[in-house]
């Protein structure tokens, strides 16, 4: 599927994709740059932030830092 970009940067999402994603007229969608392409999804299907980074090294580092803060704060 290919479409031309209009003079104001607009592109029509093909009906088959709108149907597959459940996108209706008036719905909000989100766009983001992903590697070498632009991705789009219905805004209602955004992934929740809660738990998204669970188990990552960043979460472990933040938990360790927070525990150190708690220990410092509890000292007399």
Model confidence pLDDT, tens digit, residues 18-62: 999 899 999 999 999 999 999 998 887 666 677 777 788 888 888
Mean pLDDT over residues 56-73, rounded? 89
8, 18, 72 from 60: Cα distances, Å:
45, 39, 19
Domain of residue 49, residue span: 15-74
pLDDT number for residue 57: 86
pLDDT number for residue 47: 66
Number of domains in the chain: 1
Whether residue 7 is contained in a domain is answered as no
pLDDT number for residue 53: 76
Whether residue 9 is contained in a domain is answered as no
Return d(Cα 52, Cα 36) in angstroms, integer: 24
pLDDT number for residue 46: 65
pLDDT number for residue 52: 73
């Amino acid at each position: 599927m290919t479409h031309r970009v209009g003079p104001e940067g607009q592109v029509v999402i093909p009906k088959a994709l709108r149907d597959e994603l459940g996108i209706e007229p008036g719905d909000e969608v989100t766009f983001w740059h992903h590697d070498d392409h632009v991705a789009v999804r219905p805004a209602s299907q955004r992934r929740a932030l809660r738990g998204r980074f669970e188990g990552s090294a960043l979460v472990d580092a933040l938990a360790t830092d927070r525990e150190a803060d708690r220990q410092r704060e509890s000292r007399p």
